[in-house]
Amino acid sequence: MEIAAIQTPKNPMREVLSVRDFMLLWIGQATSMLGDQFHSIAAAWLVLKMTGDPLALGTVLAVGGIPRAIFTAIGGAITDRLSPRRVMLATDMIRLLISALLAIQVFTGTLQVWMLYLYALVGGIMGGFFGPASMSIVPRILPAKNLQAGNSLTQGSAQLIGFVGPAVAGGLIAAFADVKTGVGVAIGFDALTFIVSIITLWLMQAGNQEALSATRLQILDVFKSIGEGIKYMATDPALRLLFIIIAIANLSFGGAIAVGVPYLADTRFVEGAAAYGFIIAGYSGGNLLGIILSGALPRLSKKTLQVFMVVMFVLFGLGVGALGWISTTWLATLDMLILGILNGYISIMLITGLQRNTPKEMLGRLMSMVLLANMSLMPLSQAIAGGVLRWNVAALFIVCGGLLLALSVYLFLPKIRNLLSVQLVGGESE
């Protein structure tokens, strides 16, 4: 009698890492993300040290955020027509050049304040193209059954890097007697990481065959594709609600963190740049823990998720408001750690639900809509935060925390809770 062989279940992480293109993508993007963390800490610190003005930091970030939001929609349409790999490769080449040039100018002392706005503008445009491409490439490489593992690995790596990178970058800058030297080293390191990303993208075999249209790209076709993406999102009540919630949450949270935290580090915390790095690392570390928990804990039921969403925004409001009074680095880091756990837990559910329920030919455009929701009010939030900080530091965090608490009240409405939970559990209902 023949006995059937017992098959041992494959480890999901090993399975996705055995896919050559995914392995290359993971290595290249993880390296590049580490460089991005160095650049982010260094650039914010550079603006504050050159100007001493929180409003200048807010407006520099806004100048980068506005084109990023605008070109995200265009980037999503082009991604669906050319392929994510091609778009990522082209934008990384340009970002390598601008990062290298910025580092050279910092070292040579030829950088002027107006140039910071120009660098932010170009970086924002490139980010608008890169974002939807990077978010839509994984489903084109991995089969649907491996998406959860692939997303967990990429998102987990991003948050681990976000935990380590800011702390190391802040410590590196603080280690140099001349702040500009430390900033130049950090930005120069970012430029080197783009080389790794470019090489790995170049070696990937997937790419040309991913294109969903003819090789000749028509401008009118791009705008038609954008319109199709907007229509797809606008006609789905759950997606439309999700877009609004993400936009309002980022208006409340984005400026307070992007502008408020480095300003607090510069004016309130004795550790300076190192404090800035540790606090941001705390938030990223929390995101990593949240992502791990989202994969390890049982899947939330629809009703439990509804309660969780309301509680999450209450805690976010209280946590952001508390930053107005916190005066020690360790307590600010702990506060941001808790907020990161909440954010990481819900983010992996959101991304996976969207990817599973969206046709592949619409992925680039829908991801661009999600990114647009993430960015649309961010420049306004950053500019306002810089202006409010000039007037009263505590007021910024009180107002932002109050907006998040108001959002939790809105989410408590039964119809709103139901729509959002259906989207977050991947379109399934109990």
- Whether 348 maps to a domain, the answer reads yes
- Whether 362 maps to a domain, the answer reads yes
3-state secondary structure 177-220: CCHHHHHHHHHHHHHHHHHHHHHHHHHCCCCHHHCCCCCCCCHH
Report pLDDT for 188. Answer: 95
Per-residue pLDDT band for 199 (boundaries 50, 70, 90) equals: very high
Counting Cβ atoms within 10 Å, is residue 360 exposed (0-12), middle (13-18) or buried (19+)? middle
Average pLDDT over every residue of 288-315: 79
Average pLDDT over every residue of 1-17: 59
What is the Cα Rg of the chain in Å? 21
In the chain, pLDDT over 70 holds for what percent of residues? 83
- Whether 355 maps to a domain, the answer reads yes
Output DSSP code: residue 226.
H
Report pLDDT for 212. Answer: 46
Distances, alpha carbon 354 to alpha carbons 107, 117, 212, 351, 366, in Å:
44, 34, 20, 5, 8
Report pLDDT for 143. Answer: 76
Spell out the residues 6+ positions from residue 121 whose beta carbon is closer than 8 angstroms to its own.
63, 64, 67
Report pLDDT for 295. Answer: 67
Assess whether pLDDT exceeds 90 at residue 47. Answer: yes
The CATH number that applies at residue 76 is: 1.20.1250.20
Number of domains making up the chain: 1
- Whether 417 maps to a domain, the answer reads yes
Rounded CA-CA distance 389/4 in Å is: 70
The reported pTM is: 0.75
- Whether 223 maps to a domain, the answer reads yes
| pLDDT tens by residue, 73-111 | 677 777 777 788 889 999 999 999 999 999 999 999 999
Report pLDDT for 230. Answer: 74
Per-residue pLDDT band for 16 (boundaries 50, 70, 90) equals: confident
Distances, alpha carbon 207 to alpha carbons 79, 83, 131, 140, 142, in Å:
11, 6, 17, 9, 13
Per-residue pLDDT band for 277 (boundaries 50, 70, 90) equals: very high
| pLDDT tens by residue, 122-169 | 999 998 889 888 878 888 888 777 777 787 788 778 878 888 899 899
For residue 249, what are the domain limits? 16-210+218-424
When the pLDDT of each residue in the chain is averaged and rounded to a whole number, the result is 82
In the chain, pLDDT over 90 holds for what percent of residues? 34
Report pLDDT for 210. Answer: 46
- Whether 387 maps to a domain, the answer reads yes
| pLDDT tens by residue, 162-195 | 888 998 999 999 888 788 899 999 999 999 999 9
Assess whether pLDDT exceeds 70 at residue 219. Answer: no
